[in-house]
Amino acid sequence: MTHLRDLKISVLDLVPVRADAGPAQSLHNSLDLARHAERLGYNRFWVAEHHNMDGIASSATSVLISYLAGGTSTIRVGAGGVMLPNHAPLVIAEQFGTLASLYPGRIDLGLGRAPGSDQMTARALRRERSGSADDFPDDVEELSRYLGPRTPDQRVIAVPGHDTEVPLWLLGSSLFSAQLAGMRGLPYAFASHFAPRYMHEAIRIYRDHFKFSTVLDKPYVMLGVPMVVAETDEEAEYLATSLYQRILSLIRGQSLMQKPPVKSMDGLWLPHEREAVMSFLGLAMIGSPQKVRAKVEVLLEQTGADELIFTCDLYEHADRVRSYELLAQALKSE
């Protein structure tokens, strides 16, 4: 079991967009949050590739990572993740090889096998490339070769890229990537921040299939966790209504622009929609610092996770920063 004192905590920023501010403000807020996270002792700061979603501004993931890494100095910065079916492995190797050359020892590359978008958007991204989730294992292997040592007979190289050994992570919300990560001896991040249903089984499969590698000598599990921490449970529940509305909009296929918190969700969702939102957020930790600390301790006891990566979608940027501050204080205090 991982003890709280040994737990690494990180940030997954979905770079939320407000209708009255726009993407530019969201990107500036992301850097501000990364700087706070660095000061507060968070281990890494990740952003995710999403497309055709008006409320998420992290579509050009590698460009954003460069902005974040350039504005910080010590925290690890990376992708959580790049949706590999959308890209030729060589392109990603060149992008992250460039990042690793600019910010050595600070760049992570998390890889997902889903498109991170709808079918129409996936086609628009790929155009003539016949990328598919079925190609994921081969694409991961090809990408790994581009980032590794150059071989004498290698005819296609990534420049920058080769010899950078950018750390690869496999991400998943189901069981496929868990098995692949174990067989490859790679660290594994499970997307329990939106798909907690298979979390325990995915962890078991990953650990059961883990093979020693040059990267890891034992399994390494990171779990995504939604959270809202405030001074009191009541305030946290109030702020969390922005998160509830955002997930409700996702379920309904509506705009994901952030909405301000409300006193009550009654009348905004139907009973079956409330159930769907709460299922989506099954691992959410919402409450006072003491309440959230207790929930984290239970999660660690149940999973033995090595690291937790927290996401926090609140309407006011200051509330989001404060939430991460209170979380860090709660988990690092003796």
Q: Domain 4-242+283-332 is of which CATH architecture?
A: Alpha-Beta Barrel (3.20)
- Cβ atoms of 236 and 230 within 8 Å: the answer is yes
Collapsed DSSP state (helix, strand, coil) of residue 142: helix
| pLDDT value of position 133 | 61
The rounded distance, in Å, linking the Cα atoms of 314 and 319 is 7
The rounded distance, in Å, linking the Cα atoms of 140 and 184 is 10
Domain ranges of the chain: 4-242+283-332
- Cβ atoms of 10 and 309 within 8 Å: the answer is yes
> What is the full per-residue pLDDT of the chain (334 aa) written as tens digits?
678 888 999 999 999 999 899 999 999 999 999 999 999 999 999 999 999 999 999 999 999 999 999 999 999 999 999 999 889 999 999 999 999 999 999 999 999 987 655 677 777 666 555 556 678 999 999 999 999 999 999 999 999 999 999 999 999 988 999 999 999 999 999 999 988 999 999 999 999 999 999 999 999 999 999 999 999 999 999 999 999 999 999 999 999 999 999 999 999 999 999 999 999 999 999 999 999 999 999 999 999 999 999 999 999 999 999 999 999 999 987 6
The pTM assigned to this predicted structure is 0.94
C-alpha R_g of the chain: 19
Query: Dihedrals φ, ψ of 279, to 5°?
Result: -70, -45
Q: What residue ranges in 103-147 does DSSP mark as E strands?
A: 107-112
| pLDDT value of position 234 | 98
Query: Dihedrals φ, ψ of 54, to 5°?
Result: -70, -15
| pLDDT value of position 277 | 97
| pLDDT value of position 21 | 92
State yes or no: cis peptide before 160, omega within 30 of 0. yes
Collapsed DSSP state (helix, strand, coil) of residue 299: helix
**151 vs 101, 147, 162, 168, CA distance in Å?**
20, 11, 10, 20
- Cβ atoms of 9 and 310 within 8 Å: the answer is yes
Structure tokens at 112: 């997902």
| pLDDT value of position 214 | 92
**Interior CA angle at 167 toward 89 and 12, to 5°?**
95
